[in-house]
Amino acid sequence: MTAHAALFDLDGVIVDTAVHHFAAWRETAAELGFTLADRDEELLKGVGRMDALRIVLEIGGVEVDDATAERLAAEKNARYVEAIASITPADMLPGARDCLEALRAQGVRTALGSASRNAPMILDGLGIRDLFDAVIDGSVVTEAKPHPRVFLAGAEALGVAPADCVVFEDAIAGVRAAKAGGMLAVGIGDPAVLTEADAVIPGLHAVDALASHGITFAGAPAPATEEISA
């Protein structure tokens, strides 16, 4: 397929913030008296803040009332925000900026589709907000991935049909969201984990490898001009 729009997840695709999310949740678990295993990180990727908390509590077999849940989520977020406060363009994942710039130079439209309510702050820290035609984040859309809303809203904002969109995602929930929205899903990471993706590459630095999977990009064709008949 030839895509006219590229939709990007943020955490784990453009910037390596996943490590900070997980470190902050590990502190939550420690406070509640249990430990998160390395493999638990995958379950928390792409999942909205409160859903992630629910997963953490389930792992620990801990039940809390709503007020405590709100407090735990706020405390986790405060730790996370502190960790990413000093983010700079040097924290972008290899190839991310080049990939965005190359696609835009071809006329391909770009959108961010992230569950994170911290996305605008991160985009500003990285200085890349102007590389996106649309930014859809966790404060715009409430339905969490694997619900396709975040990507459907992105496609709509770009004026491109879902079938003409490629989504870049590092999370199982995000790949599912893309597929549920009728889009092509490119996994970023391990093919053994992202089994439902249409193709998997190790990072945006390897985006050219997609051509061998039949995935290419081109600017949206100009609207057809009506022929004037004599």
Catalytic residue set: 9, 11
State yes or no: residue 52 binds ligand G6P (CB under 6 A): yes
From the CB of 103, what's the least distance to Mg ion, in Å? 19
Prior bond of 162 cis (ω within 30°): no
Stretch near ligand G6P under the rule CB under 6 A, chosen from 48-56, 92-100, 194-202, 207-215: 48-56
Q: Which of positions 163-222 make contact with ligand G6P (CB under 6 A)?
A: 171
What b/e sequence results for 16-30 when a residue is b if at least 16 CB atoms lie within 10 Å of its CB, and e otherwise? Answer: bbbebbbebbbebbe
What b/e sequence results for 182-207 when a residue is b if at least 16 CB atoms lie within 10 Å of its CB, and e otherwise? Answer: ebbbbbbbeeebbeebbbbbebbeeb
Q: Annotated binding residue at 154? A: no
From the CB of 178, what's the least distance to Mg ion, in Å? 12
Q: Annotated binding residue at 11? A: yes
- Cβ count within 10 A of residue 218: 13
3-state secondary structure of 191: coil
Q: Which is nearer to Mg ion, 152 or 171 (CB)?
A: 171
List 3, 114, 148, 151, residue binding ligand G6P (CB under 6 A): 114
Q: Annotated binding residue at 49? A: yes
List 6, 11, 28, 181, residue binding Mg ion (CB under 5 A): 11
State yes or no: residue 28 binds ligand G6P (CB under 6 A): no
Query: Which sign does the torsion angle of CA 214, 14, 98, 112 carry?
Result: positive
Alpha-carbon distance of 123 to 131, in angstroms, equals 10
Give which of 199, 205, 201 is closest to 184, Cα–Cα: 199
Q: Give Cα 46 distance to the centre of its chain.
A: 7
List 4, 7, 29, 45, residue binding ligand G6P (CB under 6 A): 45
State yes or no: residue 171 binds Mg ion (CB under 5 A): yes
Which one-letter DSSP state was computed for residue 174? Answer: H
Q: Which of positions 136-155 make contact with ligand G6P (CB under 6 A)?
A: 138
Binding mask 33-72 for Mg ion (x = CB under 5 A): -------------x--------------------------
Q: Which residues bind ligand G6P (CB under 6 A)?
A: 11, 21, 44-49, 52, 77, 114-118, 138, 171
Query: Using CB under 5 A as the criterion, which residues of the chain lie in contact with Mg ion when the complex forms?
Result: 9, 11-12, 46, 170-171
